[in-house]
Chains A and B, each alone.
Chain A
C-alpha cells in the first residue's frame, strides 16, 4: 500500500485519541486515549522505518512501548490513590487547588 495510506490511518488514530482526552471526564478512559495516541505514533515509526528501509525506527518503537508500560503503571497507581481519597475517578472531582 502507499505510504500515505499508513500516514492517514495513524493520523486519524492520533486525532481520535486526542478527541477522547478532551471529551471524556473519566480518568481511566482518558489514560486509555493517551495510550491510543502513543499507539498511533508507534504505527508512524514503523511505517517510516519501512519506507526508509531503516531499522532504527522499529527499535525506537521498542523503547516507546517500554516507556508506555512504565507510564501506565505509575498513572494507574495515582488513579487508585486518588480513588481511595475521593471515591470517584471523575476528573471534575479533583478541584481542591482551585481558588
Chain B
C-alpha cells in the first residue's frame, strides 16, 4: 500500500511540476503548482511528518499560491504569444536540466544512500548526539521549536515584520504621489 501511494504521489508531483514551466497561461501554471504542492504534502505524510504535511497545505498551497493567483488575475497578464524561438536558450536550459538530473540520480544510487528507511521505533537509540529524536506527534514539534530553536523563531517573527513593512512601502505609488504633490505646490504658489 505504501509503495502504491509513493508511486502515485511522486508521479502527481513530478508531472504537475513539469507542467508549471511548460504551460503557456500563468493561471494554468499556478493550478499545476497547487497540485504539485499537495503532492509534496502527501509525500511528507508518507515520511511520517504529518504536521509538516498539514502546514505545507495550510501555508504554501493555501496562502502563498492564493497570493500568486490574485496577482496573476489582477495583472491580467496575457498568455505568452508567439515569440521567435530562442533556440540557444532552450538548448542551454535543457543541458543544465540533464546535467543536474543525471548528477542527482548518480549520487542517489550510491550505496550509502540506497538503503530503506529505518524503523521509527529505534528513534531514541539511533538519533545523533544533541539532536531531537524523531517523533510524529505535534508535541515534539512544539518542544523542538520553542526549546532548541527558540532564537530562530523570534528571528522569523522579525523577518515577517520586515517583509510586511517592505510590501506596504513597495505598493505605495510614490511616482503618482510625487506628481500630485508637485501639482499641489504649483497651485499653491500661483
Q: Residues on A close to B: CB < 8 A?
A: 1-26, 28-29, 31-33, 35-36, 39, 42-43, 46-47, 49-56, 58-59, 61-63, 65-74, 76-81, 83-85, 88-89
Contacts and interface: CB of A to CB of B under 8 A. Distances in A.
B77 A89 contact: yes
Contacts, number: 247
B52 A78 contact: no
B105 A19 contact: no
B122 A43 contact: no
6 contacts: A2-B117, A19-B96, A19-B97, A32-B29, A55-B134, A69-B163
Interface in B101-124: 101, 103-105, 107-109, 113-118, 120, 122-123
B170 A23 contact: no
A43 B26 CA distance: 24
Interface of B: 2-3, 6, 10, 13-14, 17-18, 20-21, 26, 29-30, 33, 36-37, 40, 43-44, 46-49, 51-52, 55-56, 59-60, 63-64, 67-68, 71-72, 75, 77, 80, 83, 89-90, 92-94, 96-97, 100-101, 103-105, 107-109, 113-118, 120, 122-123, 126-128, 131-135, 140-141, 144-145, 148-149, 152, 156, 159-160, 162-164, 166-167, 170-171, 173, 175
A17 to B, nearest CB: 8
Contact of B170 (A6, A53, A68, A77): A77
